[in-house]
Amino acid sequence: MGADLKGKSVAFIPTASLNEAYKDYVEEGRQALQALGLKVEELEVTTKTKTEIAEILNRTDLICVMGGNTFFLLQELKRSGADILIRQQIEKGKPYIGESAGSIIVAPNIEYIRLMDDTTAAPQLKTYDALGIVDFYPLPHYQSEPFEAAADEIIKQYSHLDLHPFTNAQVLIIDGNSVKLEHVEK
């Protein structure tokens, strides 16, 4: 897969991390993409207009949305119009990489993640309806500290949802209607 990516460009969206104290994972994610040969173009949606966001999404080959606070991320994607633009790009076939919060926002709704993320980080978020790219609910950080207890509680309280838990050493690969859970090496 790495050879297929060499020389391609990725819109790198770190927005979810803006209000987080720990942010090292953002740089680690950027470096991992660069190690695959990707040209990383940062797209901070809080500082861009809808036109600028559309231009960056149109000229890049992939989209990568990093982790952080899921509620803040969704608030800012909706405020900027990036939610609609990203959904349109994915529907046209553009590959999407979501890490943590970035994986959660493709669900129909993010209310279930309130036990893992602070909803008060997004005071302007009116609804928890998310991108709705998939019809299930990704649950990152399963069996992974410091989120292990929160993930277990989400599984208990939201057993009526089609949750797809995965650890920090796993990825969900979605291709059309196919969903695969794979283990990854660091």
Pairwise CA distance, residues 82 & 183, whole Å: 30
Pairwise CA distance, residues 131 & 148, whole Å: 25
183 as an active site residue: the answer is no
The bridge status of strand 170-175 relative to strand 178-183 is antiparallel
Instruction: Write down the catalytic residue from 17, 80, 103, 141.
Output: 141
Q: In what order do the strands lie in the sheet with 39-42?
A: 39-42, 9-13, 62-65, 96-98
Tell me how far apart the terminal alpha carbons of the chain are, to the nearest angstrom: 16
Q: What string of pLDDT tens digits covers the 186 residues of the chain?
A: 455 889 999 999 999 999 888 889 999 999 999 999 999 999 999 999 999 999 999 999 999 999 999 999 999 999 999 999 999 999 999 999 999 999 999 999 999 999 999 999 999 999 999 999 999 999 999 999 999 999 999 999 999 999 999 999 999 999 888 899 899 876
Q: Which residues contact 103 (CB under 8 A, 6 or more apart)?
A: 138, 140, 172
pTM: 0.94
Longest dimension (CA), the chain: 44
Instruction: With beta carbons less than 8 A apart as the criterion, state whether 152 and 133 touch.
Output: no
- Which residue bears the tokens 């990036």? 82
Instruction: Write down the catalytic residue from 80, 100, 103, 164.
Output: 100
Q: Where are the beta strands (DSSP E) in 85-168?
A: 96-98, 137-139, 163-165
Q: Which domains, from first to last, does the chain contain?
A: 9-120+127-137 (3.40.50.880)
Pairwise CA distance, residues 143 & 12, whole Å: 27
100 as an active site residue: the answer is yes
Under DSSP, is residue 152 helix (H, G, I), strand (E, B) or coil? helix
- Which residue bears the tokens 């797809």? 164
- Any idea how long the chain is? 186
